[in-house]
Structure 1
Amino acid sequence: MPTDPWSAVADDWGRYWGTFARPVWEPLLRAARVGTGSRVLDVGCGSGELLEHLQDLGVRASGVDPAARMVELARARAAGAEVRRGDAEHLPYDDGRFDAVLAVNALQFAAETDDALAEAARVLAPGGVLGLAGWAERSRNDLDALDAALAEADGDEPDDRPEESPLRVPGGLAALLADAGWRVLDSGLTSVPWDVRDETDLVRGILFGEEASTVDELGPVIVAAAAPFRRPDGGYRLVNAFRWAAAERP
């Protein structure tokens, strides 16, 4: 098992980001043919919010995550779901076990994307579907204004920022699946807002896991960059977007 950096921040991640991707769940589940009684594996299940939702829909849900604390949180939230520790390239489940495999904001963490896709195919039953979802390109994400401000505060020039991942651009997820031999069923773009109640949660949500001194130093940078997104009630709403795609097992 690889190192476990996410366990230390799992509780804060769940608090600020656990339900963030909820708007993309409905179109992704529909495209992945998920319904009552479906056997579904959530890869990179995090603190278990999607697993809980799947259970509410009558789905036979299972999850896997490399972080031990995430597994604990997911088991507590989605009681009755089978949640194991593992990564996308080494799924701890038998061949042909699932009708659908989902990976929401997770595939980009795989060390070898091709291996992750091969593992998803292995654990899917014939006719099974893989559903992927993740961040769209920076220009569609208000959160990028905060990332850019933090990069500038760190001394980076705008041109120093990494190029867009091919998974984030239009058609990127569908092309990845098609190139690997999957039959793409559908793909799309979904608005995914991030709402926080006040300045404190804004800063903590962006800098979760950082030392107190870093929070003190960079908090004002975040607040200044987020000023255009401040609501009259003192909270913040930053509108972002996720791209998604679903494809049938090769």
Structure 2
Amino acid sequence: MQSTHPDDPWSSVADDWGRYWGDFARPVWEPLLRTATIGSGTRVLDVGCGTGELLEHLQEHDARPSGVDPASRMIELARARAVGADVRAGEFERLPFDDGAFDALLAVNAFQFAADQDRALAEAGRVLVPGGTLGLAGWAERARNDLDAINSALAAADDEEPPEDGPLRVEGGLAEVLRGAGWELLDGGVVSVPWTARHDTDLVHGILFGERESTIADLAPVVVAAAAPYRRPDGTYRLVNAFRWVVARRPG
């Protein structure tokens, strides 16, 4: 897909992101909310809120969620989904909220995009009340993800090596960063996160969203072939993946 937002690339893929991936990380929400003691009346900031699925989930649990995202179209969709939530434009390193505005902060599949992780954690501490909780979650190492079979096949088709696991994806990675910044670790773990596609078309467009139509046509056979082991008799696909998560208490 040709980007129509050169300075805001995620906006041009926001609708497809919401369609194929919006609630993908849902299995990791429960341990985050439980460990961070998020419930009725809890003021929660969702950093990198995307199209608003977690915001809506928090509203269903009678929490008081706010969101922040750098992409204008993501913000638009999040506000439409989680009506009444305070959703603002911003980045992890510069959160557009007052000091001590929240009891908890969540960042699901978002912390790894922070250009300055130390600054992002400092901002998280700033907007949290004393004793506030921070929950982070993101992809586990490639070996735990069925989607890696497709990513590896696409890399091979481009004569490239698959990307290596980043430090946040491996065991202890998230905890090490938080501990080094002075946060008190409460708990963490690994959660199974399946991704499903209804048929070949959804599979291909879910994997290749954001690409030009010509590129999608060229790479579709690569995606379908790599996903063949995960195709079920009814023609749907189910690929099991994993997210690591950790919850910590604000330092000081």
Question: What interval of TM-score do these two structures reach, taking the shorter chain for normalisation?
Answer: over 0.9
1:16 maps to 20
- Report deviation, 1:162: 3.3
Residue type of the partner of 1:90? R
Query: Any residues of structure 2 matched to 1:18-167 within 5 Å, and which?
Result: 18-156=22-160, 160-167=161-168
Structure 1 stretch 28-37 or stretch 14-23: which is displaced more? 28-37
Report the secondary structure of 1:92's partner residue: coil
Give structure 2 stretches of 5+ with no counterpart. 1-5
Report the secondary structure of 2:130's partner residue: strand
Q: TM-score, normalised by structure 2?
A: 0.96
CA offset digits 1:115-155 (Å, max 9, x no partner): 11110000000000000000000000000000000000001
**In the alignment, is residue 227 of structure 1 matched against residue 231 of structure 2?**
no
Report the secondary structure of 2:66's partner residue: strand
Residue type of the partner of 1:194? W
Q: TM-score, normalised by structure 1?
A: 0.97
Give structure 1 stretches of 5+ with no counterpart. none
1:6 maps to 10
Mapped to 2, the partners of 1:162 and 1:205 lie a distance apart of 19
- Report deviation, 1:4: 1.1
Mapped to 2, the partners of 1:33 and 1:3 lie a distance apart of 37
1:218 maps to 219
Mapped to 2, the partners of 1:171 and 1:78 lie a distance apart of 33
1:198 maps to 199
Percent identity, aligned pairs only?
Answer: 72
- Report deviation, 1:171: 1.1
Report the secondary structure of 1:161's partner residue: coil
Residue type of the partner of 2:221? P
Mapped to 1, the partners of 2:99 and 2:135 lie a distance apart of 18
Structure 1 stretch 72-81 or stretch 26-35: which is displaced more? 26-35
Kept in 1, the 8 Å contact 2:151–2:162? The answer is: no
CA offset digits 1:174-193 (Å, max 9, x no partner): 11101110000000100000
